[in-house]
Amino acid sequence: MLIQRLATAMVLLPALLALVWFAPTPVVFVVFALTGTVIAWEWGGLMHLPAPWARRGYAALTGVILGLAWFTPLRDAWLAWLLLPVALWWLLVPLLFRGFPGNLQRHPIAPPLMGLLGLLLVASTILSLAWLHAQPDGALKLLYLLFLVFAADTGAFLAGRNFGRRKLAPMISPGKTVEGAIGGLLLCAAWALTGGVYAFGVAGSELGWLLALSLLVALASIVGDLVESMFKRLGGIKDSGNILPGHGGLLDRVDSILAAAPLMVLGLQLTGL
């Protein structure tokens, strides 16, 4: 399993870095949008859609919405209005963790609402990534965001493995600890104070805003991971798919980015960084 995970990562990571660094924004958007349709297919599994045609239809609808959004003001002028309800979801969804699983077993989220939620999360993420890439030095800023998420995950793994004692959300993800989350945040703070300064060219109060935003985004990435685990446990699913050997599905790999990207872009727009 470990060898499979490493082999998959060694193939995908260089391809992702090359795409972000060398490709123009329209190409980046197309690749990410196609990825979004696969994520939507896997989200359909979390919804327990009754037939393959329903999941294919849901994935196709997501692709159509992404394509239409690219050619409308939603891509730029209206993006913040799309990100506001998504940000609200990520800020409030931890309230569901405390009573899980009984709360969602007694009051499950209706399939239409789950479908709408999936569309919002996927569309907001893909459009946010494309928006960030289109900014001045956008490739650098997008790489900063991606490595911020990687830092949160890596720091949490290392700190949790060596110092983890208190469970963060035992009914959702027993392996995650409070100490691990703190370790992830500390590594993200170091990344913000080094990579962030280079990517955004900030100093003084602007650096303070970037540090605060980066820590909020890092927290959101942890929440994103927990939310997908919550829905998988609720549905009795181990992995969202099997497209990535050793990793599971695409949703298993990008759950943190679904939360991090919209909050990062909304924060950049609100702070003017």
Contact indicator for 184, 220 with CB cutoff of 8 Å = no
The pLDDT score that the predictor gives to residue 268 is: 96
At 11 the pLDDT is 72
Q: Report DSSP state, residue 96.
A: G
d(CA 232, CA 3): 25
DSSP letter at 100 equals: T
Query: 188, 218 in Cβ contact below 8 A?
Result: yes
When divided into structural domains, the chain yields a total of 1
- pLDDT below 70 — which residues of the chain? 1-9, 239, 241-248
**pLDDT the model gives residue 243:** 66
Domain that holds residue 136: 2-271
Locate 269 and state its tokens.
Answer: 């727009």
Q: Is 120 helix (H, G, I), strand (E, B) or coil?
A: helix
Residues with Cβ within 8 Å of 50's Cβ and at least 6 positions away in sequence, in order, are: none
Which pLDDT score, from 0 to 100, does residue 2 have? Answer: 45
